[in-house]
Every structure is written in C-alpha cells, then in structure tokens.
Amino acid sequence: MPATRGADVLVIGAGILGLWAARHALRAGRSVIVVDEGQAGAGASGGFLGALMPHMPDRWNAKKQFQFNCLDSIEESIRELEADTGIDCGFRRCGRLMPLTHEGMRGHAQVRIAGARANWQGRYSMELVEPPIVDRGWLDPQSAPFGAVFDALSARVDPRAYGSALREFVAGAGALTEGARVTALEPAAGRAVLADGSSIAAATIVVAAGWRAYDLLRPFLEPLNDGRPAGRGVRGQAVLVEFAHDDNLPIVYHDGVYVVPHAGNRVAIGSSSHDKWDGAPDAFDPADMDFYHRALKLAPALRDAPVIGRWAGVRPRNTFEPAMRAALGGEMERLSISAEQGSLPPPPTGPADPYFGPVPGHENLIALIGGFKITFGVAHRAMAALSQ
C-alpha cells in the first residue's frame, strides 16, 4: 500500500514563493513538508537578474502600495534570513537608472517624481538626471539624450544565493523532498497524491509550482475562469557576464532590458520573453539574444565582458478572465485581508496580476501564483499570513 506522510502544511514547489511560505509556517511552529519535481531554487527562481524594482509611483493604488511595503521591508527580511543561515544573499539597495529617449518622457518623469514624493513616505527619492549622462560608460549618453530618471528604492539580490539560503533554512527546520511530482490535489480530503502513488496529508496545501501550478489547479480555477486556463508559461533568457566594478553601480533598465550589477564582478543581463517556444523550457537558445545586444548599446562598457553564464526558464503569467477576478476578489474581501496589513495583496484587478491566497471554495488550498516580473520583490510577504 502506498505510503502516506503528514504535516500541518504541504508546500508544492520549492522556488522563491514556496520556500518563503515554508519559512513563515516553520517560524510559526507548524510542521512543513516541501516537495518539488525538480531541484529547490531552480526554474524561474534560479536565474541571474534578481532585480527588485517598483512600479511607477504615479496613479497610486493598493497594488502599488503592497509592492512598496514589500520593497521597503525586504532588506530586514533578508538580513534575518542571512543571520539564520550564514549565507550572504547579495542584497544591495543599488537604485535604478532609466534613460529618457525623447522629450515627451521628461514630462512623464516629472509626474512620476511627484508621485514618488507623495507615495514613498519620504524614505526613497526619485530624481531627474540631466544630460549629458557621464558615468564611465555604464549608461551610454546617446541612449539617454534627454537625461535619465534615478530611483533610490530599487534593489538587487543574488537569486541563487537567496534560494540557497531559503533552502538551507527549510531543509534544516522542515522536510524537503526534491524530485517528487504531485499529480493530483484532493483539498476536501486534505491530501495530495504523488506520481509514485504515495500521498501527503496536510491541513493546508500551498501550491507554488510556478507555471506548472496551472495544471495542478486546473480543476479548481478553470471553472472560475470561463473554462479557460488561468495562466500560461512565458519563457525567458538571461546571461551573466564578468565585468570589474566596485559594486556601486545602479541597475539600468529600459524597454524590457535589464542590466543588473552584482557583487564579485558579475553583471546580469536580461531578458527575452516568449509565449511560445520549441524544445525544453530550460534549453538556452543562442539565436534569442536581442536583449543582450540591446543591453550592450545601453551600457557600452560591457561590450568586451565575457559571458560566463546562460539561463533559460519559464515564468508564470496569469490570464484571469473578469469572472475569475471577481471570484478571487470576493474571496479576498471575505477574508478581510488588506494591502495595508501587508500579509496579502489586494484582489487582482488586471489579467496578469499576481494572486496569493485561498482558492475560492477551498480555504485549505492556497495558490501562490507569481506576478511575472515582481515576484522576487514581494515573495517574503506573499504568504506571511501563514505565520499569523
């Protein structure tokens, strides 16, 4: 007869969201089992970028407030994790430069600067950097003919070191099983079935399996989503280059291209984004390098920097239909969890927004479905409710 294990909390997926959920539950004194069909910290969580960047601070709303709360508090959470594990996560409040490529962008920049002044609580600045931009070739003046915007809120973290620290904590305080695939969820019975026929019983089941979560959650989410899939995988690529620097450089970001300086004379460059792809999700495509060439135009100092790492992976992107957003919003309101409390974000308002919370009709089934580009910056608070 297949074996059955049990715990207070079962977390499916050992990426950044799943490991943080497990950490919160463990610190609250709950027993936790984490399973992942691959390796902990791999997949979308195992890239190079680690850019922690805010939404633009104009047109403020509850979602932006939640993200601000997360970015404001992340350093404290990471320092606690580092103290618990002895692993340096490579965090630095490095700031971000965004070039202005035409005159009209200056007016938009002033609106955003005013928004930062009003909404960032006086803790972080956003300012206009007048042309010409002169900074050792880190941002090409020709790429910023009308100056640039610098914000002091943006930060960076080393994704692989960060994942290693979370894995170290969770494996030491709980149970972590890699290479274990969950094939079915039975929330009414408080059980998940694995590919080997065994099962895990848990009072709370947390699904944080990245883009593969959509298959597991299909029986529960598609009926809410007008019968359509609740999301899709979006494939991306990035590279890591070696470039000597004093680790005082900001992130450069423009039109979907990231240049992220890291400690140890490393710079991450990304990323591409494709809804459809051929081959394995993590197979690097050398023909898909437009993002890299565009980055070299932004930061010409990197033109001779050797490429020392290549990454490809798939990120989740929600495609919530209006019916599903209404259902999820109703569940969030019923639970009276607000963005100001910082435990969960507000109900989804757009089709690609993240969703962290119970699946309607199944209070013991929690979905942690990432925010595509913002997950690393909010993961430490996405499931803080498990510690309450």
132 found inside a domain:
yes
69 found inside a domain:
no
308 found inside a domain:
yes
Q: Which two tokens stand for residue 163?
A: 């994942």
Q: Tell me, yes or no, whether 259 and 143 share the same domain.
A: yes
pLDDT at position 372: 64
Strand bridging mode 266-270 / 257-262: antiparallel
Q: Tell me, yes or no, whether 223 and 347 share the same domain.
A: yes
DSSP for 112-159, written as a single string:
HHHHHHHHSTTTS-EEEEPSSP-STTSS-GGG-TT-EEEESS-EE--H
CA distances, 180 to each of 34, 35, 43 (Å):
10, 6, 15
84 found inside a domain:
no
pLDDT at position 327: 78
For the chain, what is the domain count? 2
64 found inside a domain:
no
Q: End of a domain among 264, 283, 312?
A: 312
pLDDT at position 331: 59
Q: Find, among 363, 370, 359, 348, the residue nearest to 223 by Cα.
A: 359
Q: Tell me, yes or no, whether 145 and 239 share the same domain.
A: yes
Q: Tell me, yes or no, whether 41 and 147 share the same domain.
A: no
**What's this model's pTM, rounded to 2 decimal places?**
0.94
pLDDT digits (tens, 9 = 90+) for 14-72: 999 999 999 999 999 999 999 999 999 998 999 999 999 999 999 998 888 889 999 99
How far is 91 from 93, CA to CA, in rounded Å?
A: 7
How far is 115 from 136, CA to CA, in rounded Å?
A: 30
Beta-carbon contacts of residue 135 (< 8 Å; ≥ 6 apart): none
Q: End of a domain among 312, 337, 370?
A: 312
Q: Tell me, yes or no, whether 209 and 347 share the same domain.
A: yes
Q: What CATH number has the domain bearing residue 298?
A: 3.30.9.10
Q: What CATH number has the domain bearing residue 351?
A: 3.50.50.60
Q: Tell me, yes or no, whether 225 and 336 share the same domain.
A: yes
Q: Which two tokens stand for residue 327?
A: 């259902």
| Domain of residue 23, residue span | 4-51+160-231+319-387
Q: End of a domain among 312, 347, 376?
A: 312
The answer to whether the beta carbons of residues 314 and 278 sit under 8 Å apart is no
Q: Tell me, yes or no, whether 199 and 167 share the same domain.
A: yes
Q: Tell me, yes or no, whether 210 and 244 share the same domain.
A: no
Residue 46 identity (one-letter amino acid)? G
82 found inside a domain:
no
Q: Tell me, yes or no, whether 238 and 370 share the same domain.
A: no
pLDDT at position 337: 42
Q: Tell me, yes or no, whether 243 and 298 share the same domain.
A: yes
Instruction: Please identify every stretch of the chain with a pLDDT value under 50, giving residue numbers as ranges.
Output: 1, 334-342
